[in-house]
A = this chain, B = another copy of it.
Amino acid sequence: MNDSKPASVKVLITSGPTRQYLDPVRYLTNASSGRMGAALAEAVLKLGHDVVVVSGPVAVKYPAAAEVVEVITTDDMLRVANEIFPHCDGAIGAAAPCDYKPLHVSDQKLSKTGRPLQLDLVETPDVIAVLGESKRNDQWVVGFALETDDRRFRATVKLEKKHCDLMVSNGPEAIDASDNHVELLDRDGSVIETISGNKQHVANRLIQQIHNRLILQ
């Protein structure tokens, strides 16, 4: 523990899902609720730091003291995060951006024909990987990895690939749930802490670790 009181820092948190529309009505997404992002924002504010949340469409309420920028698509989230990140000390990728988008987007609602529809999807940019790649020496990035299989291994691969300083590994049962069970992984793939409980408890522990390891460094 470092006992010196650090100056207030500014943390960027991405939160919630994004949407990738096929036409004016239908879209691809996931059930991310933004609750983990809201809990992390609360925990960052409690330590006296500033927070900017870049959030996809959610019903959750973010803390009143947080600056919130709303986005719809993954490209929007990346563009806004890229603009804000240079003015921040670190970023936490709690969002679950939709990682595929239709190659073609129709202006009109596609009419049903009775026949199958073949949809060509391409990958969207990886928001946290782009921030990790662009970070200065005095900045840090913490990612989240949501995997159904080989969780720890895949999370460690993602940590490396996305130039993250720490990686939070969790499973699909975390999505739209009030509780979570996560492992916080270090750069060498070792488990720093396993945390279970409601999302505010998990967020408080994660922010305490980030505070000690990255903010007070």
Contacts and interface: CB of A to CB of B under 8 A. Distances in A.
Contacts of A25: 30-31, 96, 146, 148, 172, 175
Given A27-B29, A29-B29, A123 B119 contact: no
Nearest to A175: B25
Interface residues of A, number: 39
A4 interface: no
Contact of A117 (B98, B112, B117, B121): B121
A109 B148 contact: yes
Given A24-B148, A29-B27, A59-B59, A99 B112 contact: yes
Interface of A: 19, 22-31, 57, 59, 96, 98-100, 103, 107-109, 111-112, 114, 116-123, 146-149, 154, 172, 175
